[in-house]
Amino acid sequence: MNILLTGGAGYIGACTSLFILKLNPNFKCIIIDKEETQNIKKLQILFPNNIKFYKIDMCRMDLLETVFNDTKVDGVIHFAAYTIVSESEKETYKYFHNNINSTLNLLELMKKYAVSNLIFSSSASVYGVAEYLPIDEDHPLKPVSTYAISKKICEDLILKYSERGINYVILRYFNPAGAIDGIGEEHNPETHLIPLLIRSMLEGNIFKIFGNDFPTPDGTCIRDFIHIEDLANAHFLSLRKLLGEEIKNEIFNVGINNGYSVMEVVLKAIEMFKGKVNKNFRYIIDSRREGDVPALVAKANKIKNKLGFYPKYTIEDIL
């Protein structure tokens, strides 16, 4: 079984490849990415016969087509995208051009080469400012940031191509964090809360909390944090059901049905790391980042009922 993972050298893609291959040693993961990261090198060492890597830009249709020419693809997990919300507000063209065109090229080639199974890495950010909590899949889609709008457009493209024979599962995940077997977050620059917080605590840096004037109990953003291994499992369950023709054309939230504010995470981490926190560590309140919404908490009952997905890990496990 040959599974194509776009953006597969990144954090979520690499962890998902690791999870799939540990459970299915006969699978092959065909990974496309613009960058050859340390994560992809680790995967190649762990699974030398199961990883095929292409360093290409998916916005180049001709280069992307070489992948489909080289190998019969049984299913696609599409992670590839620029993902930094604050950056997307400053570099609108970059985000729209990359995220939308790479998806459109992929869909067109899937249609051309009769590859029918697609799992799409979407985001809870497509919901925008929550009208109610927790957020279910029927919540109105009102994306705020350029990044979120690009994800919503990609979802619409996938729905359109489903009329042409592509069966999809769209996973709207909330806030992934954690690591699997040494494969974890490798962003440059790092913008995610938990790795930045842990690094600041250990190195004695100043940690910035972006905004304390949101309409939440303590004024800081609330997020639903899901462990990366649980998220990888959600992809695997979706893939297994799609390939087995047990489901098609579904949208699922992926979260733990519980939210924590940024301040709660900071204070919990300080408590858990007693004795290990560098004496120079401190946190300060900074201004809000563009594109941030007050609260995103999942109602993820649908994925439990249809896929049998039950998260194993808590915020304490993630930290």
pLDDT of residue 274: 86
**What is the rounded CA–CA span in Å between residue 134 and residue 296?**
8
- pTM (2 d.p.): 0.94
**What is the rounded CA–CA span in Å between residue 300 and residue 135?**
8
Q: Which of 45, 60, 100 has its CA nearest to residue 78?
A: 100
Domains in the chain, start-ordered, CATH in brackets?
Answer: 2-179+225-256+298-314 (3.40.50.720)
Residue with tokens 């459970």: 23
pLDDT at 108 over 90: yes
The percent of residues above 70 in pLDDT, for the chain, comes to 98
Averaged pLDDT of the chain:
95
Of 11, 147, 173, 283, the catalytic one is: 147
pLDDT band at residue 291, thresholds of 50, 70 and 90?
confident
pLDDT in tens, 173-231: 999 998 888 787 765 676 788 989 999 999 999 999 999 999 999 999 999 999 999 99
**What is the rounded CA–CA span in Å between residue 296 and residue 284?**
23
147 catalytic residue (yes or no): yes
